[in-house]
Chain A
Amino acid sequence: MHVVLVVEDDPDIRATLCEALEDNGYSAVAASNGVEALEYLRGGNVTPCLILLDLMMPVMDGQAFRQEQRNDATLASIPVVVVSAYRDLDKYAEQLATECLPKPVRLDTLLQTARKHCDSAA
């Protein structure tokens, strides 16, 4: 089972991303901020093949989450793709050592990204 963790505070986008992934054969898990995401990852659940990460979120934002995750040896290897509306997304991606998808994102781009990380891991 390919699980994608969607970390996104906006409920509409969260639901849409999850639905799009599920419609196309993936299993999606949703978290609305960095803390919830870490809880899932450390809660003994299935390790996701990909984390889709928003940057601007309450409680714990995307940057803080990425730092935590990279510093945690058990989680560091999980691929992270930043999905954000920031204009200077390339800069953030470089800084956070991740790929990035600018919002709004097209379905085929989203699925390409999921395929790249999850299907090869399978």
Chain B
Amino acid sequence: MAELLPKPRPGRRAFLGGVALGSVAAFTGSHGARGASRTEIAFASAKFFGKETVAQVVEMYNASQSRVHVTYVELPPPSASTEVHQLLVQQLARQSGSPDVFTQDVIWIAEFAGAGWALPLDQEFGADVRKQYFPGVVQACTWGGKLTALPWFIDSGMLYYRTDLLGNEAVPETWDELVSLAQAAEKSGHARFGFLWQGKQAEVLVCDLVEFVGSNNGAILGPDGKTVMIDDDKSVQAVQFMRDTINRYKISPQDVLSWDEEPSRRPFTGGQAMFLRNWSYVYTIAQDPKVSSVVGKVGVAPLPHFPGGRSAACLGGYQYGVNASTKNREAAIDFVRWMSSPATQLHFATELGLAPTRPDVFDDPKLAQSQPFMQKLKPVFLGATPRPVTPKYAQVTLVLQSSVSRALADGNVKQALAGAKDRIAAIVAS
């Protein structure tokens, strides 16, 4: 790709760089400010906080050793992810080596790796280390056969259910079981809605899509990142099922087509629904008596699957990356190794509420004590499935959102997905 690069037009580049610098307190500002014996590196991350902040954890690292000093640069929170993405792209595209270490949403990993901005980490983190993380996360951190990101924390889609309405029935493991339980709950009048999910033409629709398709052993993109499988029979079946929940089984209201996370969460915590697909944040709200009428009546399980398939949970979360142009490779690697270590992951879990990407950390009694709910999510995260891994994800997702929204609205599933296939094939081929 590099030989295709024309000579950069300095005017615009410099301008964009200037904008980025202006909005993010200078990445390079405090380099060399501390004692000369320490290697200075910069770490940029979206803003996360709980009882502690990311800055405090970075200070823990600085205090824990005397070789490296990390300056933390705070980016906007993940709710403004478009902005975070832009700022990172602008910084990394300058290839100035700053920030040395950054955190990225899982869906950007392939993009940054494909552009050559992320340092491959295979040498430092071999197969034995990779085995210590959830397989879905490692898959999302791998591009072109190389590990180009190191896992930080995980979130994923999961099935919320009402323990009181389920009674003696088992938690549904297949979609068929979910349909009959949901229909029964609606018929008996215990729940106004059987099953709520998110069909708004937005990123969350792709997350739901990954789960339905994945649980039918289907996929959107093949492992090579080039084969488009969105109009395979398994994908078509899965999308048809999404539509059927509304039109055929009538377990979901038409409204899910305009709902993202929060609108679908409200009827559930308001006690009107039996099942809900959502992220881990809902649990805290469901247990808050001020806003929830289902306190103590909510359970969480892996999402159901189709016959012969296995549960799939759309993977979310931010992961570490090392800038390929860093001038302090050793220091940067040392820092991410510490940040991704079991002890630090446990600290992030107990103090910031960010779920570990190492299954072993879930077995730590300290986690069970301070985050009893998170501890239960280990089986959910084992099924974590990445969204299509491709450097062109930003374009692919827009096509998926538009075509799947169309398929759900007018019911011509096969046709809409065939159209999506052609357009995605053109995007990933170029």
Q: Do A and B come from one complex?
A: no
